[in-house]
Every structure is written in structure tokens, then in C-alpha cells.
């Protein structure tokens, strides 16, 4: 706890600095794409959101494994606290992808391999959070939610593989390629900085969430003890 309160301001400073530099480089310095024009700038919020959605799910799954193997409550709390943040990133990746797709592909939604697997990831996040909502007892909820997270973690690469296969068979004739020519450093640098900025934002929000969750459990225990004492 004490370590957290000394680290936290620094995490926020780094987060804001990275966002400042990344947005400046991405919006003001990086050139517009010769094919996509200014629309390419959506990439600086879209791609980092997708990366972080995957990263947060990995964090969640690893924390769940630690929680289920070593029965450490902090790991369960860390997994639970990560889920809403990851779901928000995942939603943003889908929303900005859709906003990118409309001018480039002509439709809001394409059953593209990446969009589809991102959508499945959002479903996994929602299912995980629904489990925590549905089960009252935190110890039981953490066990069940960990199973859901781990099975989902095994499922993600299988879904990615199958959707890639599926899409390559059903691919429409003319489609805009997301993996265009090799990325120029003037575009790659802001992209990587934005990726780091998203990671630090996750870290900052995650730390606060973990602390609230620990507090919420203490409140729950105190209240339970009190109702027990009253009877």
C-alpha cells in the first residue's frame, strides 16, 4: 500500500507525458498516408487499444492461473480489477476500427478476421465480468471466474487461427489491406509511444482498482461480522 502511494503519482505523470508526446507526434508530425490520407491517424488510437486489450487479457489470465494454483487472494483481485479496463480497450478497438472501416471499406462492420477475433475477445471479457456479477461469495466467484479466464485464454489463439482460415476462404475480391507496406519510422514511433501510453494508463487505473477492491472486501467482511454480532 505504501509503495503504491509513492509509485502512483509517477505512473500518472509518465502516462500523461506519453499521451502528450504520442498524440503530438501522431497528429502533428506524422505524415498523412498517400492512400488513406488523414484517416490513417485513427491508427494511433485504434492499434494501441487492440494491443492493450490483448495484453490486459493476458494479465488477467496469468493472474487467474496464479490465483487458482497458489490460492493467493491478491491475484484474484488483480484479475477482477483488470477486466473492466480490458473490456473498455477492447470496445475502443472495435469502435475505432469501425470508424476506420466506414471510409476505407465503405461499411461500418466487416467480418474481417481481426474484427471477428476482437469481437470474440469482447465476449470473453463480458462473460468474465458477468460471472463476478452473478456470484455473491467472492471466494467462489474468484474460482469460477479464474476457470472462465483460463479457458478463454486457451480459446483465443484457436479462435484467431480459425478465423484467419475462415476469412482467407471467404475474403471478398477487393479489400483494403491492413498490413500494407513496411511502416515508416515517422509513423511507427508515435504508434509505439501510444502503445506505451495505453499500457501505463492501464497500470495506473489497475493499481487504483486493486486498492478499491481490497477495500471493498474489507467492508464486506466488517459488515458481515457486524450482522453476525447483532444476531
Is 149 buried (19+), middle (13-18) or exposed (0-12) by CB count in 10 A? Answer: buried
User: Looking at beta carbons only, is 12 or 192 nearer to another protein?
Assistant: 12
Closest CA to 94 of 77, 118, 62, 128: 118
User: Looking at beta carbons only, is 188 or 219 nearer to another protein?
Assistant: 219
Closest CB 74 distance from another protein, rounded Å: 16
User: Looking at beta carbons only, is 17 or 32 nearer to another protein?
Assistant: 32
How far apart (Å, rounded) are the C-alpha atoms in residues 69 and 212?
24
User: Looking at beta carbons only, is 3 or 28 nearer to another protein?
Assistant: 28
Residues that bind another protein (CB under 8 A): 27-28, 32, 37-39, 41-42, 45-46, 49, 68, 84-85, 88, 91-92, 95-96, 99-100, 102-103, 120, 123-124, 126-127, 130-131, 134-135, 140, 143-144, 147-148, 150-152, 154-155, 158-159, 161-163, 165-166, 169-170, 201, 205, 208-209, 211-212, 215-216, 218-219, 222-223
User: Which letter does DSSP use for residue 31 in this model?
Assistant: P
Closest CB 95 distance from another protein, rounded Å: 5
3-state per-residue secondary structure call for 95-132: HHHHHHHHHHHCCCCCCCHHHHHHHHHHHHHHHHHHHH
Backbone angles phi, psi at 98, to 5 degrees: -65, -40
User: Looking at beta carbons only, is 23 or 182 nearer to another protein?
Assistant: 23
Closest CB 218 distance from another protein, rounded Å: 6
Closest CA to 143 of 75, 197, 210: 75
Q: What is the DSSP string of 160-208?
A: HHHHHHHHHHH--SS---SS-SPPPHHHHHHHHHHHHHHHHHHHHHHHH
User: Looking at beta carbons only, is 66 or 135 nearer to another protein?
Assistant: 135
Closest CB 212 distance from another protein, rounded Å: 4
Closest CB 185 distance from another protein, rounded Å: 19
Closest CB 215 distance from another protein, rounded Å: 4
Amino acid at each position: 500500500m505504501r509503495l503504491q502511494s509513492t509509485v502512483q503519482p509517477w505512473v500518472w505523470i509518465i502516462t500523461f507525458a506519453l499521451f502528450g508526446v504520442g498524440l503530438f507526434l501522431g497528429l502533428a508530425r506524422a505524415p498523412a498516408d498517400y492512400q488513406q490520407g488523414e484517416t490513417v491517424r485513427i491508427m494511433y488510437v485504434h492499434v494501441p487499444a487492440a494491443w492493450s486489450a490483448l495484453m490486459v487479457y493476458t494479465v488477467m489470465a496469468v493472474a487467474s492461473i496464479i490465483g487458482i494454483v497458489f490460492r493467493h487472494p491478491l491475484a484474484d483481485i488483480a484479475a477482477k480489477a483488470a477486466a473492466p479496463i480490458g473490456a473498455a480497450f477492447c470496445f475502443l478497438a472495435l469502435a475505432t476500427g469501425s470508424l476506420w472501416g466506414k471510409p476505407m471499406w465503405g461499411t461500418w462492420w466487416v467480418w474481417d478476421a481481426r474484427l471477428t477475433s476482437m469481437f470474440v475477445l469482447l465476449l470473453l471479457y463480458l462473460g468474465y465480468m458477468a460471472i463476478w456479477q452473478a456470484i455473491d461469495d467472492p471466494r467462489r466467484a474468484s474460482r469460477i471466474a479464474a476457470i472462465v479466464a483460463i479457458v478463454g485464454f486457451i480459446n483465443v489463439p484457436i479462435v484467431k487461427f480459425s478465423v484467419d482460415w475462415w476469412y482467407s476462404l471467404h475474403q471478398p475480391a477487393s479489400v483494403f489491406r491492413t498490413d500494407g507496406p513496411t511502416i515508416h519510422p515517422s509513423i511507427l514511433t508515435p504508434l509505439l509511444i501510444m502503445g506505451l501510453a495505453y499500457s501505463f494508463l492501464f497500470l495506473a487505473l489497475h493499481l487504483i482498482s486493486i486498492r478499491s477492491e481490497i477495500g471493498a472486501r474489507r467492508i464486506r467482511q466488517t459488515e458481515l461480522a457486524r450482522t453476525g454480532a447483532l444476531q
